[in-house]
Amino acid sequence: MAVRVRIEDVAEAAGVSMKTVSRVLNREPNVREDTRVRVQTAVDALNYKPHPSARSLAGHKSYLIALLYDNPSPNYLMEVIAGVLAACETQQYNMMMCPLDFGSPTFMNAVESMIAHSQPDGLILTPPITDAPALLKRLAELELAYASISPRRQKQCMGVAIDETRAAFDMVQHLVSLGHRRIGHIKGHPAHGASDWRLAGYREGLDKAGIKFDSSLVVDGEFSFESGVIGAEQLLGLRQRPTAIFAANDDMAAGVIGVALRLGLRVPEDLSVCGFDNTPMSLQIYPPLTTVHQPSRDMGRIAALELLAAIHKREVGKMLHIPYTLKLRQSTGKLATPS
């Protein structure tokens, strides 16, 4: 590789001092428009790229944001990552990945060590790490900025979320509109706020339709395919079994469909099934799954943009809510025989 172009070279080419080039590059105020143009021209002509480490060292910033996650769905995380990277690119920032074990006793040690070593300028938290009290407390102490994606307690932090309760509510309304009255629900993992919100939306949906809540129709799950299988076995083993099952995510819904087929039930003629998340898999099973689409990539991008803005302006952002979409597919329908 040819020798590196340095800020000094650009300064000479533009006939200004290094510091002025630095100002232009960092969009600092108090630079005359014509010198700004002159510098920018020199930068482009020389194809100058500032040295990240030098910037970081001199500027007392790492130009790094860390993405904290704990074993989420790869599909979900990859979408979030794509969004965060897109946001970082526009602002000369980098993203580092931080896989963590939320439940582990060394969780906070791992976080401390990561922070001490990498010195990120900010963090992006994904569920369920959004809701680790010890972590949030420590970040406040360190005055380290963070943005949360779908945190449980949304009032007190910056970040982005969708109205999951409303989405679940809409989904139940969809089932009701198809004629279903006995609607089962498989809950999500108790550590995730999403589980509560989706259950709440389920209950509100029943209320709205004037259907009495029946606790035997709600079973525990933990977002995994296997827990969906177990939940489905419980629900479909009931004397009066539900005609529709709303699983709190797609993986569990896939488990439900598997059990239904195994039991000789047709989907959706004998049983309607719906999930939440719109994973790629939801289109790859038979029948394609009715679900809720959460714009994860946008959420990653927006969370990162908020975080970067907060880092620059040193002010707190707000929790942003963005729209979701119901994906109505073939796994839900009217009953073949009127119940």
Interface residues with DNA (CB under 7 A)? 4, 6-8, 15-23, 25-26, 29-32, 35, 48-51, 54-55, 57-60
Exposure class string for 312-321: b at 16+ Cβ within 10 A, else e: eeeeebebbe
Token representation of residue 251? 């993986």
Nearest CB to a second copy, comparing residues 117 and 313? 117
Q: Which of 167, 142, 145 is nearest to 157 (CA)?
A: 145
Q: Does 108 bind a second copy (CB under 8 A)?
A: no
Nearest CB to a second copy, comparing residues 56 and 234? 56
Give which of DNA, a second copy, none residue 286 binds (C-beta under 5 to 8 Å, depending on kind): a second copy
From residue 261 to residue 300, the character string flagging contacts with a second copy as x (rule: CB under 8 A) and all else as - is xx-----------------xx-xxxx--------------
**Binding window for a second copy (CB under 8 A); candidates: 7-15, 152-160, 173-181, 247-255:** 247-255
- CA dist 3 and 327 (Å) reads 54
The CB-of-59 to a second copy minimum distance in angstroms stands at: 9
Give which of DNA, a second copy, none residue 142 binds (C-beta under 5 to 8 Å, depending on kind): a second copy
Q: Are 121 and 66 in contact (CB under 8 A)?
A: no
Do β-strands 325-327 and 291-293 pair in parallel, antiparallel, or remain unpaired? antiparallel
Give which of a second copy, DNA, none residue 258 binds (C-beta under 5 to 8 Å, depending on kind): a second copy
Q: Does 241 bind a second copy (CB under 8 A)?
A: no
Give which of a second copy, DNA, none residue 30 binds (C-beta under 5 to 8 Å, depending on kind): DNA
Looking at 37, 45, 57, 316, which residue binds a second copy (CB under 8 A)? 57
Other beta carbons less than 10 A from residue 259's beta carbon: 23
DSSP-assigned letters across all residues of 144-158:
-EEEEES-S--TTS-
Nearest CB to DNA, comparing residues 18 and 178? 18
Nearest CB to a second copy, comparing residues 56 and 325? 56
The CB-of-12 to a second copy minimum distance in angstroms stands at: 20
**Binding window for a second copy (CB under 8 A); candidates: 29-37, 45-53, 124-132, 331-339:** 45-53
158, amino acid identity = M
Q: Are 247 and 214 in contact (CB under 8 A)?
A: no
Q: Are 164 and 140 in contact (CB under 8 A)?
A: no
Helical ranges in the chain per DSSP H:
7-14, 18-25, 33-46, 52-59, 74-89, 107-118, 133-142, 164-177, 193-209, 225-236, 250-262, 281-284, 296-313
Number of residues that bind a second copy (CB under 8 A): 43
Looking at 8, 15, 44, 97, which residue binds a second copy (CB under 8 A)? 97
Q: Does 335 bind a second copy (CB under 8 A)?
A: no
- CA dist 282 and 239 (Å) reads 29
Give which of a second copy, DNA, none residue 316 binds (C-beta under 5 to 8 Å, depending on kind): none
